[in-house]
Amino acid sequence: MTTARHDITTIAFIGFGEAARAIGKGLQSEDGSLLLRAYDIKTDREMTAPSMRADYAAAGVAGAESAAEAVAGADIVFSTVTADQAGAAAETVAAAKLNGALFLDCNSCAPEVKRASAARIDAAGGRYVDVAVMAPVHPRLHRTPCLLSGDHAQDAGAAMRALGMDVQLAEGPVGAASTRKMVRSIMIKGLEALTVECMLAARKAGIEDDILASLESSFPGFGWAERAPYMLERVMTHGIRRAAEMREVARTVEDLGLAAPMAKATVMLQQEIGELGLDAEEIGAADLAALTDAIMAGLARRRA
């Protein structure tokens, strides 16, 4: 069973955070006739429901009051929740009528979690696809590179390309794409954590300019002066979500029969900085000194 462009009229998002909003914005720019629906568990909570519904309206998508309502009649379902909620999201969607819909699991979770989700979705009449989003969703939006794997990857690839998306197939069953994403994250999220610790120590010692110059000398062309504040901003803004992903990375590494000391250490730092709740944009997202000072002040308050 394949899905051609003219067959795609309705797309649903389960979870409506940064990734879903970016993909949805890109898809709308590609074809304004698409009907986009979204459901996020934040609409179930009195405190967060108004802001979530405002996000739906601002994005021009139809907000749903349940996962079942969101996926009803959908041709494609994007699952874009936090890593720790991926299995629960698949279970909830599996209780609905899927009628052959492609279920694109874009969440950063361990292959074993994705295999369990695939069994649920396929048994419910959906077509599960393991999707690994391989770069930040900004600025490329729906054109952010993705890897696909699983029995329905080829059909999904055709449908996604028809929507203007940038996809490649990772040969193998469900888990082949996510394994690549998880292993890559050891470096990507770990580098962020190392940069935070390095820059905090450098700021405390008053030698940040020397450290940045030395790093640039060792890794010419990397652009440490620009990348360092960017990486701090990412951890400040998304540390809690990144920590959830890195728990899945650690699980992946352990499932491969290896210890995961770096992944576990990255969890701790990402979680700690994320929980400070600092607004990097308000502080100055490109101001390394201001960012490091804000993090140190936040850590001091918390540890006091």
Q: What is the CATH number of the domain that holds 70?
A: 3.40.50.720
Shared domain for 216 and 286, answered yes or no, is yes
Shared domain for 124 and 225, answered yes or no, is no
Q: What is the model's pLDDT at position 6?
A: 57
Last residue of a domain, one of 157, 174, 191: 174
Shared domain for 65 and 141, answered yes or no, is yes
Q: What is the model's pLDDT at position 4?
A: 52
For the chain, how many structural domains are there in total?
2
Shared domain for 33 and 112, answered yes or no, is yes
φ/ψ of 98, rounded to 5, equals -100, -30
Last residue of a domain, one of 130, 148, 174: 174
Taken in order 220, 223, 225, 230, is the CA torsion positive or negative? negative
Q: CB–CB of 225/216 below 8 Å? A: yes
Shared domain for 22 and 130, answered yes or no, is yes
Cα–Cα distance for residue pair 177/171, rounded to 1 Å: 8
Shared domain for 24 and 145, answered yes or no, is yes
Note if the pTM is more than 0.85: yes
Shared domain for 83 and 161, answered yes or no, is yes
Q: What is the model's pLDDT at position 299?
A: 97
Residue span of the structural domain in which 271 resides: 182-303
Question: Could you read off the pLDDT tens digit of each residue along the chain, which spans 304 residues?
Answer: 555 555 899 999 999 999 999 999 999 999 999 999 999 999 999 999 999 999 999 999 999 999 999 999 999 999 999 999 999 999 999 999 999 999 999 999 999 999 999 999 999 999 999 999 999 999 999 999 999 999 999 999 999 999 999 999 999 999 999 999 999 999 999 999 999 999 999 999 999 999 999 999 999 999 999 999 999 999 999 999 999 999 999 999 999 999 999 999 999 999 999 999 999 999 999 999 999 999 999 999 998 8
Q: What is the model's pLDDT at position 269?
A: 98
- Whether the bond between 50 and the residue before it is cis, its omega within 30 degrees of 0, is no
Q: Give the number of other Cβ atoms within 10 Å of residue 83's Cβ.
A: 22
Q: What is the model's pLDDT at position 3?
A: 52
Q: What is the model's pLDDT at position 304?
A: 87
Shared domain for 13 and 148, answered yes or no, is yes
Choose among 124, 123, 82, 125: nearest CA to 105: 82
Shared domain for 195 and 280, answered yes or no, is yes
Last residue of a domain, one of 117, 152, 174: 174
Cα–Cα distance for residue pair 244/261, rounded to 1 Å: 16
Shared domain for 170 and 197, answered yes or no, is no
Q: What is the model's pLDDT at position 5?
A: 56
Shared domain for 138 and 226, answered yes or no, is no
Q: Can you give the CATH number for the domain in which 293 is found?
A: 1.10.1040.10
Shared domain for 108 and 257, answered yes or no, is no
The answer for residues whose C-beta is within 8 angstroms of residue 46's C-beta and 6 or more apart is none
